[in-house]
Amino acid sequence: MVKVRSFSYSLLQLVAFCGLFWLCNLAVAALHIPIPGSVFGLGILVLLLGVGIVPERAVKAGSAVLLGELLLFFIPPVVSVLKYRALLQADGLVIVACVVLGTLMALVGTALVVDRIYTLEKRMNDKRDQQRHLHDDHHVGEGV
């Protein structure tokens, strides 16, 4: 019974996400907003969650389903590789090489940069936390 209820709850939220997507597509077209309806909708929902108009539990289950099964939604276009059989036979190896090398470059490049920045930001955060603690201790001292 609980399972049935949580299933229908998720389904309802799923329908709500589809409705929001549809509305956002209309809005983007009508207002000539230069970004896709889906990304516009993402921004709107973050905003609605942020100001508390939409409570988290109203979208949590539906979001978990959509993001958990994301792979299922783009499996069909991947089957289109069959359309590109000639391309893949001729250039498949080159394409694979590009993907491997490109991914390696992007991974290592991003990791190296973030490595430095994160160390810096963590040190800044720790310092701030430490100062706040000192400050708090000071107040406690005054109270006594």
Partner 1 sequence: MSDTLLACLSFAATVGFYLLAKLAYRHKKVFWLSPMVAVPVALVAFVMLLHIPLPDYFRYTNLLVLMLGPATIAFAVPIYQQRETIRRFPLTLMVGVATGVVMGLLSSWLLVQIFPMPDVAARSMLTRSVSTPFAMQVTEQFGGVPDLTAMLVLMTGVVGMLICEPAFRLARIRTSLAKGAALGAASHGAGTAKAHEIGREEGVIASLTMIFTGIAMVIGAPLFASLV
| Residues 21-50 within binding reach of partner 1 (CB under 8 A) | 21, 24-25, 34-39, 41-46, 49-50
Alpha-carbon torsion (61, 76, 39, 118), positive or negative: positive
Alpha-carbon torsion (82, 87, 92, 94), positive or negative: negative
Cβ distance to partner 1 smaller for residue 94 or 144: 94
What residues between 124 and 143 interact with partner 1 by CB under 8 A? Answer: 125
Q: How far is the CB of 57 from partner 1 (least distance, A)?
A: 10
Judged by CB under 8 A, the residue of 81, 123, 126, 133 near partner 1 is 81
Judged by CB under 8 A, the residue of 30, 75, 134, 140 near partner 1 is 75
How far apart CA 56 and CA 63 sit, in angstroms, is: 10
Q: Rounded to 5 degrees, what are φ and ψ at 81?
A: -50, -30
Q: Are the C-beta atoms of residues 17 and 66 closer than 8 Å to each other? A: yes
Judged by CB under 8 A, the residue of 26, 29, 113, 126 near partner 1 is 113
Q: How many CB atoms lie within 10 A of CB 45?
A: 16
Name the residue among 41, 49, 51 with its Cα closest to residue 20: 41
Choices 3-11, 90-98, 136-144 (CB under 8 A): range interacting with partner 1: 90-98
Q: How far is the CB of 13 from partner 1 (least distance, A)?
A: 9
How far apart CA 92 and CA 84 sit, in angstroms, is: 10
Choices 2-10, 97-105, 131-139 (CB under 8 A): range interacting with partner 1: 97-105
Q: How far is the CB of 48 from partner 1 (least distance, A)?
A: 8
